[in-house]
């Protein structure tokens, strides 16, 4: 990467555009020291990969829930119009929270006008630290020197379940939500109450992307490492 390109990246605004955030993150990750893994570690990764079920992605709003019969059937939301199909008659959309969003106080710092905050269970998913979030670098949260840069997400995993929160936000908040959580795959999922009853509405979940899927969907097939 040329010195001119590095200078350009260092002068990005504090709230950069989505593409600028992607370029900045890619540059920062390229300059991290690469850890050396043992052959035993790679064998463990291979074993974990073999245990993951195949996933079939359906068109939005065609599922009635998550079907765990050896193959997961989930609905991915790729643009704002698909989010809007989840709106309730009162113009609200449900968000499925994990991590810091398990705290109502933390959730309200991001969604100050949220409604009906409650605890629920989501079957067929597990927590995973699998990506680095641009905001960690923008706010100085990441520690590159110790490689403490990973952000929490979730991924489909048959037989697992998560405690999550569910709350509603206004339709007008959807665009900011999409831009803020750019690194995630947006899924329409059906959480349940703690006693197992399905909720009335599908909720948006921020799930893990693989690198290949991220470049294909978010970058429209363009690999930023080539620029």
Q: Look at 226 and 175; give whichever has higher pLDDT.
A: 175
pLDDT at residue 223 in the model: 58
* Residue 2 predicted with pLDDT over 60: no
Query: Higher pLDDT residue, 26 or 46?
Result: 26
H-helix or E-strand spanning residue 129 = strand 115-132
Beta carbons of 87 and 93 less than 8 angstroms apart: yes
Rounded to an integer, what distance in angstroms lies between the CA atom of residue 206 and that of residue 77?
Answer: 10
Strand order in the sheet with 71-76: 54-58, 71-76, 185-189, 203-207, 92-97, 150-170, 115-132
* Beta bridge partner(s), residue 51: none
Beta-bridge mates of residue 204? 95, 188
% of the chain at pLDDT higher than 90: 41
pLDDT at 214: 63
**DSSP for residue 99:** G
**3-226 maps to which CATH number?**
3.10.490.10
pTM exceeds 0.95 for this model: no
Q: Where are the domains of the chain?
A: 3-226
Q: Report pLDDT for 51.
A: 41
pLDDT in tens, 17-33: 555 555 655 555 555 55
pLDDT at 148: 76
Inform me whether the pLDDT recorded for 11 exceeds 80: no
In our burial notation (b when 16+ CB lie closer than 10 A, e otherwise), range 212-225 reads eebbeebeeeeebe
Q: Which residue has the higher pLDDT, 184 or 187?
A: 187
- Nearest alpha-carbon partner for 26 in 202, 174, 149, 159: 149
How large is the average pLDDT for residues 212-227? 61
Q: Rounded CA gap, 66 and 193, in Å?
A: 15
Q: What is the pLDDT of residue 67?
A: 38
| pLDDT > 70? residue 201 | yes
Task: Select from 142, 23, 139 the least CA-distant residue to 12.
Answer: 23
Summarize the confidence of residues 36-56 as an average pLDDT: 43
Task: List, for residues 86-95, the tens digit of each pLDDT value.
Answer: 999 999 999 9
More confident of the two residues 128 and 219: 128
The pLDDT score that the predictor gives to residue 94 is 98
Q: What is the DSSP string of 130-159?
A: EEE-HHHHHTT--BGGGTB-EEEEEEEEEE
């Amino acid at each position: 990467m040329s010195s001119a390109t590095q200078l350009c990246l260092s002068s990005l605004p504090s709230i950069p555009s989505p593409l600028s955030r992607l370029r900045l993150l890619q540059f920062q990750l390229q300059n991290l020291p690469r850890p050396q893994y043992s052959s035993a570690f790679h064998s463990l990764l291979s074993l974990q990969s073999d245990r993951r079920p195949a996933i079939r992605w359906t068109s939005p709003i065609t599922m009635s829930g998550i079907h765990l019969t050896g193959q997961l059937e989930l609905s991915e939301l790729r643009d704002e119009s698909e989010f809007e199909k989840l709106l309730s008659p009162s113009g609200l959309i449900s968000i499925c929270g994990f991590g810091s969003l398990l705290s109502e106080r933390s959730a309200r710092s991001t969604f100050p006008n949220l409604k009906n905050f409650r605890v629920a269970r989501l079957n067929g998913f597990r927590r995973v630290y699998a990506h680095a979030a641009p905001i960690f670098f923008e706010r100085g949260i990441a520690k590159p020197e110790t490689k403490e840069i990973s952000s929490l997400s979730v991924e489909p995993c048959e037989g697992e379940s998560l405690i999550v929160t569910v709350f509603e936000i206004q339709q007008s908040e959807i665009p900011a939500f999409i831009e803020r959580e750019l690194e995630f795959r947006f899924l329409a999922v059906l959480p349940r109450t703690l006693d197992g009853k399905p909720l009335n509405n599908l909720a948006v979940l921020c799930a893990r992307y693989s690198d290949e899927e991220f470049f294909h969907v978010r970058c429209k097939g363009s690999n930023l490492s080539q620029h």
